[in-house]
Chain A
Amino acid sequence: MNDLSRGDQELGERVEGYRRREARARTESVGSVWRTVGRVGALGWLIAIPTVLGIWVGHALDRAWGTGVTWALALLLCGVGVGVSFLWFTLREVGDELKEEEP
């Protein structure tokens, strides 16, 4: 195969690949929109739940050990850290999926 044929084949494959990706994006677009809306809706809970859990457990420990608000504050910060990590992983996953779907 010479350069001309190779060039034609590459161009054909690229256009064919573009056509396949666009057709897939069209059929999957509705489902993926709702999936994305669901994910975005859940993002707030990803931070809120670990934070509230941290405060609740910390408060319980403070009451049991009489340490004022030390454990509540410490576990609040841990909860926020855990929530932000969950958020980061989820956003990265969404970003990877969007890159795959891009025609």
Chain B
Amino acid sequence: MSEPFALCVSTPRDATRIEGVTRLRFEAPDGLRGVWPGHEPASFVLRGGVVRLDHAPGGRAPTSYLATEGGFLEVRAGEVQVVSRWAAAHTELEALVAFLRQRRARRQGVDEEARRLFERHELATRKALAGLQREVHR
């Protein structure tokens, strides 16, 4: 049996390397795919969702999960490279779901705050323009 491989996850913010992966399962646009050690070099489009990782025994949890917003997955000798806009890993799916909910709530909060600020500034700009028009026509 081939040696376990490493998973390198690259996002715009950082790059992480996860060692000791014995199996990887991800979703491509045409369905689920798996990667075992010794897989031929290949490139895939990675669909946003969960990438399941099985690890070699010793130290680490036997399974972990990586949530991604999609991207690309490249299989090379001894490692798999994932490039995505955003990714987060956890050993428990429930914890990953909770983390995604928190992230979504935080981003919605930022979105709403930005919209409120925009509306306030738009109102202020209109008032200033109305005042300027009055001055011009006096």
Task: Return A100 CB to nearest CB of chain B, in Å.
Answer: 13
What is the interface residue range for chain B against chain A? 10 to 19
Q: Tell me the interface secondary structure of chain A in the complex.
A: helix
A15 touches B67 (CB 8 A): yes
Whether A12 contacts B100 in the complex (CB less than 8 A), given A4-B107, A5-B111, comes out as yes
Nearest to B50 among chain A residues (CB) is A18
Flag whether A96 is at the interface (Cβ < 8 A). no
Flag whether A93 is at the interface (Cβ < 8 A). no
Which residues of chain B have C-beta atoms less than 8 A from A11's C-beta?
48-49, 67, 69, 100
Scoring A residues 7 to 46 as 1 if CB is less than 8 Å from chain B, else 0, what string do you get? 1111110111011001000000000000000000000000
A15 touches B107 (CB 8 A): no
What is the bound-complex CA distance between A16 and B67, given in angstroms? 11
What is the bound-complex CA distance between A18 and B93, given in angstroms? 9
Chain A positions near chain B (C-beta within 8 angstroms): 2, 4-5, 7-12, 14-16, 18-19, 22, 102
Chain B positions near chain A (C-beta within 8 angstroms): 32, 48-50, 67, 69, 93-94, 96-97, 100-101, 103-104, 107-108, 111
